[in-house]
Amino acid sequence: MTVSPNYIRIFDTTLRDGEQSPGASMTSGEKLEVARALARMGVDVIEAGFPAASPDDLEGVRQIAREVGNTPGPNGAPPPIICGLARAHKGDIDQAWEAIQHAARPRIHTFLATSPIHMKHKLQMDPEDVIERAKEMVTYAKTYCADVEFSPEDAGRSDPEFLYLVLGEAIKAGATTLNIPDTVGYTTPDEFYRLIDGIMKHTPGIENVIVSVHCHDDLGLATANTLAGLRAGARQAEVTVNGIGERAGNTSLEEVVMALHTRRPVFGLETGIDTTHITRVSKMVSNYTSIPVQPNKAIVGANAFAHEAGIHQDGMLKHESTYEIMRPETVGLNKSALVLGKHSGRHALKVRLADMGYDLEQAELDTVFERFKALADKKKVVAEADLEALMTDSLYQTREIFTLDGLQVTCGTMGLPTATVRLTGPDGKVHIHASIGTGPVDAVYKAIDHLTHIHGTLLEYSVRSVTEGIDAIGEVSVRVQADNGDVHKRTSPQSGREQSRTFGGHGAETDIIVASAKAYLAAVNKLLVATGRYTESD
Ligand code: KIV
Ligand code: ZN
C-alpha cells in the first residue's frame, strides 16, 4: 500500500513517556484499555512501554502486543505498530523484543544521548564512542526486528553536524525511523524547523527513512515545535493524550491532530485519526492516571467549547462560527438540550448517552441507570457534566479488590473526627473498622489502610464540583504511594535510576466524603494488584 507523502504517522507514547511521569502510573489492565482505545482512534504506532523498567512493565507491553497488536485497525486498516523502548544496551533490546515479538507489526525504539552535556555528564562517553554504540545497537536491534527506530536523545541541544553523522550511521545500520527529540523542551519553533530542515538536507540516506519529532513542553512550545518539524519534512509526530509526560509533559496528541485538521490549507498534511474519539480517550487517560485536565486546556479542557461571556454567547446565537473554529462534535463532544431528571427512563438515558458518544452494552447501561436514578433522586436536574462524571466513574474504574460497602463519619468542632468503614474483601467477607483522624477524610483513609493492610502516603488530594449548585456531584482525585515494600519500583529509561510507582484513584458522588473514600480505595486496589497479592482478574 502506498502512503501519501503528506500523511503524518501518529506515534502515541502515552503509555511510555506519559505513564513514566510521576503520578501517571496505570495498571496493566488500564494500559491495555488505553491501547485498545488508541487503536480504535486510528493511532499508527503505540509505544506501549519500556519493558526493561520492571517485569510488570514487560508483561504489560507483551499483553498489548499480543492483543492490540493483532487486532485490525478501523476500516480494515492493519493493526497498529506496537513499539517497545530500549536504551542502547543489549539487555534492554532483548527485553523489548521479548515483549513486542508477538505483535503483527513490532518495532524496537532505541535511544542514545548526543548532546555535549549528556555525553559528558550522563554517558561519560566520547562522541566517537557514541557513534559506534548507536551503530552497534541499531545493528543488534535489526537482528530481531525489521522495524527499528533510533532517537538521538537531547537532539534539541546537540550539534547539528554531529547529528548528521550519528543519524547517517544509524541509517546505514538499518534504522527505519529517525526520531528527533527535544528532550528538555528547550528549542523554539524557528530553531526546531531549522534543525529538522538541516537533517533532511544533510543526512546521507535520509530519503529512505521516516523522520519523526518528539517534543517536550517545558517552555509551552511542544505543539508549535512539533508542527514546525512537520512543516520541515518530518512525517511522524510523537505525542501523548492530554500532553501528559515528564515534567511539563509531551506534545499533546489532540492539539497536533486538530491543528492539522482545522488548518488543513495551511499545513496540507493529514493523519489517520478519527477525531470524534478524542474526548473519550482524553477522559479515559485522565481517569486512569488521576491527572485532571486543566479547564482551559486546548481541545479537551472543560471550557474549550464553553462560551460564557455574554458577548460571545450573543455572537454564537447569531452564528456558531463567530467564536468557534471547530465544532465540538468533531472531537466527540455532543451538546444536547435534552434535560434528564428523576422521571427519565432507561431509554431516555440510553439515547442521551449515545448522543454523548457512549454506546453501552445492556449490563453497562443497567449499572449506570441505577446510579443515575440514585443521583436523580438527590438532584432535580441531571446535567451532561453529571452524566460524564457518572460514566467515567462507572466505566473507567479498575477491577475492585475491596469494595466500599458502607461508610459513616462524625466530625465537626465537638469530639474527634471518626469514620466507620465497611468493605467487602476479595474473600467475599465483610470487614468493618472504625478510626479517628485529624479530619473526616483522614479518619476514613486510616480505616481503609487498616482493613486492606496497605499503608499509603497521600501525595495529592483534590476535590472539584462537576456542576454549580449545592447539590452538585463532587469529583475527588488522589495520588497514593505505598509506604512499605519495594514491589512498586521500576527503572527510569533516562536516568537509569529506580523510581517508586505511585497510583491514582478517582471517585464521584454527591457526598464528597464518600467520593474521597472511593478515590482512595481505587488507588489502594491498584497498589494491591501491584504488590502481586492479587491479580486484576481476582
Ligand atoms: O524525550 C526523549 O528524549 C525521549 C526519548 C527516549 C525518545 O523520550
Ligand atoms: Zn520524551
- Ligand 1 centroid to residue 439 C-alpha, Å: 43
Q: Whose CA is nearest to atom 5 of ligand 1?
A: 153
Q: Which atom of ligand 1 is nearest to the CA of 153?
A: 3
- Nearest residue (by CA) to ligand 1, atom 4, is 183
No. of helices (H) and no. of strands (E), the chain: 17, 16
Q: For 397, which DSSP code?
A: P
User: What is 9-289's CATH superfamily?
Assistant: Aldolase class I (3.20.20.70)
The span from the CA of 509 to the CA of 519, in Å, is: 10
DSSP 405: E
Is the CB of 187 inside a 6 Å radius of any atom of ligand 1? no
Q: Is ligand 1 within 6 A of the CB of residue 17?
A: yes
Nearest Cα residue to 171 out of 213, 129, 199? 199
Instruction: Kindly give the distance from the C-alpha atom of residue 115 to the centroid of ligand 2, in angstroms, as a whole number.
Output: 15
Nearest ligand to the CA of 245 is 2
Pocket lining: 501 vs ligand 1, CB cutoff 6 Å: no
Q: Confirm if 348 and 368 have CB atoms less than 8 A apart.
A: no
- Asked if 297 and 33 count as a contact pair (C-beta separation under 8 A), the reply is no
Per-residue pLDDT at 28: 86
Contact 158, 188 (CB under 8 A): no
Cα–Cα distance measured from residue 55 to residue 53, given in angstroms and rounded to the nearest whole number: 7
Q: According to the model, what pLDDT value does residue 157 have?
A: 98
Distance 394 CA to ligand 2 centre (A): 32
The ligand 1 atom at the shortest distance from the C-alpha of residue 151 is 7
183 lines ligand 1 (CB under 6 A): yes
Ligand 1, atom 8, residue with closest C-alpha: 17
Q: Domains of the chain: which residue ranges?
A: 9-289, 305-335, 403-531
Any ligand 1 atom below 6 A from CB of 245: no
Q: Which atom of ligand 1 is nearest to the CA of 111?
A: 6
Report pLDDT for 269.
98
Across 154-263, where does the E strand assignment appear? 177-182, 210-215, 236-239
Residue 458 φ/ψ, nearest 5 degrees: -80, 110
Residue 306 pLDDT: 75
Q: Using CA positions, which residue lies closest to atom 1 of ligand 1?
A: 183
pLDDT of residue 466: 75
Q: What is the DSSP string of 441-479?
A: HHHHHHHHHHHHT--EEEEEEEEEESSSSTTPPEEEEEE
C-beta separation of 398 from 525 below 8 A: yes
What's the 113 CA to ligand 1 centre distance in angstroms? 9
pLDDT of amino acid 307 = 61
Q: Which residue type sits at 68?
A: V
CB atoms within 10 A of CB 514: 19
> Closest Cα partner for 115 from 178, 172, 173, 184?
184
532: exposed, middle or buried (Cβ count in 10 Å: 0-12, 13-18, 19+): exposed
pLDDT digits (tens, 9 = 90+) for 485-497: 545 577 888 888 8
* CA distances, 374 to each of 345, 367, 369 (Å): 13, 11, 9
Helix/strand/coil for 389: helix
- Closest to 339 in 3D by CA, of 384, 392, 285, 275: 384
Cα of 153 vs centre of ligand 1, distance in Å, is 6
Q: Residue ranges of the chain with pLDDT lower than 70?
A: 307-318, 335-339, 357, 395-399, 468, 484-488, 535-538
Backbone region of residue 97 per phi and psi (left: phi > 0; alpha: psi in -120 to 50; beta: other values) = alpha
Q: How far apart are CA 71 and CA 338, in angstroms?
A: 37
Statement: 403-531 belongs to CATH 1.20.272.10: no
Cell of 150: 533510533
What is the predicted pLDDT for the residue at 311?
Answer: 56
Pick from 265, 266, 260: nearest CA to 239: 260
Are 351 and 392 within 8 A, CB to CB?
A: no
Assigned C-alpha cell, 181: 527529540
Closest C-alpha among 179, 32, 184, 202 to residue 112: 179
CA atoms of 389 and 286, how far apart (whole Å): 12
**176 near 138, Cβ under 8 Å?**
no
Please check whether residue 139 is in contact with residue 175, taking contact to mean a CB–CB distance below 8 angstroms.
no
Q: What angle do CA 311, 317, 322 make, to 5 degrees?
A: 65
